[in-house]
Chains A and B, each alone.
Chain A
Amino acid sequence: RKEVEQDPGPFNVPEGATVAFNCTYSNSASQSFFWYRQDCRKEPKLLMSVYSSGNEDGRFTAQLNRASQYISLLIRDSKLSDSATYLCVGYNFNKFYFGSGTKLNVKP
């Protein structure tokens, strides 16, 4: 079983829509979590860290549910520039574990 699992998508949404991604993790001892964004043929770029209390950064809200072992990312008022692959990442024992990514296409 993979450490981190995500729906690969693609999620095709119109501009202005709200879209939510979830990912699940298998190791309950995982210590920290992040969402990264990766554009085609580019490096992953940190979007935000994820906390149990939930955290918000502008149009983006991330949430960690340790009891159910899932992480979510909510994007409000989607922009064309939000089109990318979103990577769910967990950290455990010296390693970051990456999900395979969820592809988002925001259409005009």
Chain B
Amino acid sequence: EAGVTQFPSHSVIEKGQTVTLRCDPISGHDNLYWYRRVMGKEIKFLLHFVKESKQDESGMPNNRFLAERTGGTYSTLKVQPAELEDSGVYFCASSQERGARAFFGQGTRLTVV
């Protein structure tokens, strides 16, 4: 069974540019989460989808971040325009049920220069 996959694995962009991260959850997992780890800090929640609906987006830092999950399958996270402090590793995770064990993708390492 395929795990959670994320694309790209690395992205280096200039401040002010736009980047779109993609996450393909495990097939059949309705719950999809985005998390972020910035340098030296713990992994922090960004938002949670159940199917195509946003259940909780309280962790999204500001309106430069937009997440979508059209059709309830894969999800995208767009950062526009990117700022230096957006650099970090963005993880996507999925789970079959709320609160059940979640499986993580390999992450996208974003560097804004």
* Count of A interface residues, CB-CB < 8 Å: 22
Q: Would B98 and A94 count as touching, CB distance under 8 A?
A: yes
Once bound together, how far apart are the Cα atoms of A96 and B91, in whole Å?
Answer: 12
Interface presence of A43 (CB below 8 A): yes
Once bound together, how far apart are the Cα atoms of A87 and B35, in whole Å?
Answer: 14
Interface presence of B65 (CB below 8 A): no
Task: Add 8 more A-B contacts to A32-B100, A46-B102 (CB < 8 A).
Answer: A43-B91, A43-B106, A46-B103, A94-B98, A95-B48, A95-B56, A96-B35, A97-B45
Residue of B35, B44, B59, B99 touching A31 (CB-CB under 8 A): B99
Interface presence of B104 (CB below 8 A): yes
Main secondary structure, interface of B, reads loop
Interface presence of A55 (CB below 8 A): no
A-side residues, CB < 8 A to B, are: 2, 31-32, 34, 36, 42-46, 49, 87, 91, 93-101
Q: Would A43 and B48 count as touching, CB distance under 8 A?
A: no
Q: Would B55 and A94 count as touching, CB distance under 8 A?
A: yes
Q: Which 8 A-B pairs have the closest CB atoms?
A: A98-B43, A94-B56, A100-B42, A43-B104, A95-B45, A91-B99, A94-B48, A43-B106
Q: Would B42 and A96 count as touching, CB distance under 8 A?
A: no
B-side residues, CB < 8 A to A, are: 33, 35, 41-45, 48, 55-56, 58-59, 91, 93, 98-107
CB distance from B9 to the nearest CB of A (A): 11
Once bound together, how far apart are the Cα atoms of A43 and B104, in whole Å?
Answer: 6
Once bound together, how far apart are the Cα atoms of A39 and B56, in whole Å?
Answer: 28
Q: Would B91 and A49 count as touching, CB distance under 8 A?
A: no
Q: Would B59 and A95 count as touching, CB distance under 8 A?
A: yes
Once bound together, how far apart are the Cα atoms of A79 and B6, in whole Å?
Answer: 30
